[in-house]
C-alpha cells in the first residue's frame, strides 16, 4: 500500500513540474519534430510561441501583404532602416572590402544543409518601415519581414528583410559573398536562373569565409564553399516551392534590379531545373 501511495505521489509531482514550467518550448510543447537523416538543425530563437501564433492568425490587424501603403510600406520611402539604395555609404554591403583570397573556397569542405522545424501553424509577421527587423540566425530562413517583396530576378543588392518574403512564397534566394570567386558566382547565377522563375539573386555579407555561397528557402539553407552543380540543383528540387504562401505574383520592390526573372517552365515553376543534365 505504501509503495502504491509513493508511486502516485511521484506521478503527481512530475505532472506538476511540467505544468509549472514557464520557459519557452520550441517548436511545440513538448514533442519535437524529426529531421530527415543526414541533415543538421540549429536552434531557432525567433519563432512565435503557440499563443502568439493563434493570436496573429486570428487578428484582423495583421498587415496585409502586397498592398502599397505610404504609412507602412510603399517600397519607396523609409528604406534606410534596412538598406538605402540611394545612399553611397550603404553600398559597402555589396562591395568586397577584404582579401579575395580569404573567400576562394575549399574543395575539402562539405556543403551544409540546415533545416529549421517551423511549426505548421506559424504565421510570419509583417512589419512597417518604422520598425527595424533583426534575426537570431546569421542567415534567416523564416521570420518577420516587410509587407512588400522584391520582384524576382538578379539584384545588385537586396536586404534580407525583403527577400525573406519571397522565400515565404516558395522562392529560392541565392546569396554570395561579394569577395567570392567571380567565375563561380556567374555559374551559380546561371544555374539558379535555369531552374526556376521564382528566384532572387544578391550579394550578401551573410555567407562566411568558409562557405561564401548560400541558397535560402522557407525553413532551409544550403551553405557551400565551392560550387557543385548537382548539389545546388538537388537542393532546389527538394526545398523550392515549400513556402506557406504559394504565389508566383511578382513583387513591388525593384531597387537595384539588374535582370528581371524569366519564366523557365511555367509561372508556377511546374518543372524545377528542366535543363538539368540527366544521367
pLDDT tens for the chain, residues 1 to 279: 545 444 444 444 443 444 444 444 344 443 333 333 334 444 444 443 333 334 344 445 667 787 899 999 999 999 999 999 999 999 999 999 999 999 999 999 999 999 999 998 999 999 999 999 999 999 999 999 999 999 999 999 999 999 999 999 999 999 999 999 999 999 999 999 999 999 999 999 999 999 999 999 999 999 999 999 999 999 999 999 999 998 999 999 999 999 999 999 999 999 999 988 654
| CA nearest neighbour of 222 among 184, 278, 187, 173 | 173
pLDDT tens digits for 128-171? 999 999 999 999 999 999 999 999 999 999 999 999 999 999 99
Question: Is 84 within a domain?
Answer: yes
Question: Is 130 within a domain?
Answer: yes
Name the residue range of residue 231's domain.
Answer: 54-260
Question: Is 13 within a domain?
Answer: no
Query: For residues 111 and 228, is the Cβ–Cβ distance under 8 A?
Result: yes
Q: Distance between CA 150 and CA 73 in Å, rounded?
A: 12
Question: Is 29 within a domain?
Answer: no
3-state secondary structure of 17: helix
**Residues forming a β-bridge with 222:** 113, 215
Q: What is the pLDDT of residue 62?
A: 67
Q: Distance between CA 211 and CA 215 in Å, rounded?
A: 11
| CA nearest neighbour of 104 among 259, 246, 209 | 209
Q: What is the pLDDT of residue 61?
A: 63
Question: Is 150 within a domain?
Answer: yes
Q: How many structural domains does the chain have?
A: 1
- CB hemisphere CA count around 249 (13 angstroms): 14
Query: For residues 73 and 148, is the Cβ–Cβ distance under 8 A?
Result: yes
Question: Is 6 within a domain?
Answer: no
pTM: 0.79
pLDDT tens digits for 97-123? 999 999 999 999 999 999 999 998 999
Q: What is the pLDDT of residue 278?
A: 57
Question: Is 37 within a domain?
Answer: no
Query: For residues 117 and 27, is the Cβ–Cβ distance under 8 A?
Result: yes
Question: Is 278 within a domain?
Answer: no
Amino acid at each position: 500500500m505504501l509503495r502504491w501511495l509513493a508511486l502516485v505521489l511521484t506521478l503527481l509531482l512530475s505532472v506538476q513540474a511540467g505544468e509549472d514550467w514557464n520557459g519557452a518550448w520550441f517548436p511545440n510543447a513538448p514533442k519535437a519534430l524529426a529531421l530527415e537523416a543526414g541533415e543538421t538543425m540549429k536552434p531557432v530563437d525567433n519563432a512565435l510561441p503557440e499563443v502568439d501564433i493563434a493570436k496573429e492568425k486570428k487578428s484582423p490587424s495583421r498587415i496585409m501583404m502586397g498592398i502599397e501603403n505610404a504609412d507602412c510600406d510603399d517600397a519607396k520611402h523609409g528604406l534606410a532602416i534596412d538598406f538605402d539604395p540611394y545612399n553611397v555609404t550603404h553600398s559597402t554591403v555589396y562591395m568586397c572590402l577584404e582579401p579575395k583570397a580569404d573567400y576562394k573556397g575549399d574543395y575539402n569542405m562539405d556543403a551544409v544543409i540546415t533545416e529549421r522545424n517551423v511549426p505548421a501553424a506559424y504565421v510570419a509577421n509583417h512589419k512597417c518601415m518604422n520598425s527595424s527587423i533583426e534575426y537570431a540566425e546569421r542567415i534567416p530562413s523564416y521570420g518577420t519581414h516587410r509587407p512588400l517583396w522584391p520582384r524576382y530576378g538578379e539584384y545588385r543588392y537586396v536586404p534580407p528583410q525583403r527577400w525573406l518574403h519571397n522565400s515565404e512564397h516558395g522562392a529560392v534566394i541565392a546569396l554570395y559573398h561579394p569577395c567570392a570567386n567571380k567565375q563561380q558566382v556567374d555559374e551559380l547565377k546561371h544555374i539558379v536562373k535555369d531552374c526556376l522563375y521564382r528566384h532572387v539573386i544578391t550579394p550578401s555579407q551573410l555567407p562566411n569565409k568558409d562557405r561564401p555561397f548560400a541558397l535560402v528557402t522557407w525553413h532551409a539553407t544550403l551553405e557551400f564553399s565551392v560550387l557543385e552543380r548537382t548539389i545546388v540543383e538537388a537542393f532546389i528540387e527538394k526545398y523550392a516551392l515549400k513556402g506557406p504562401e504559394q504565389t508566383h505574383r511578382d513583387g513591388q520592390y525593384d531597387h537595384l534590379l539588374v535582370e528581371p526573372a524569366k519564366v523557365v517552365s511555367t509561372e508556377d515553376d511546374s518543372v524545377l531545373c528542366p535543363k538539368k543534365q540527366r544521367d
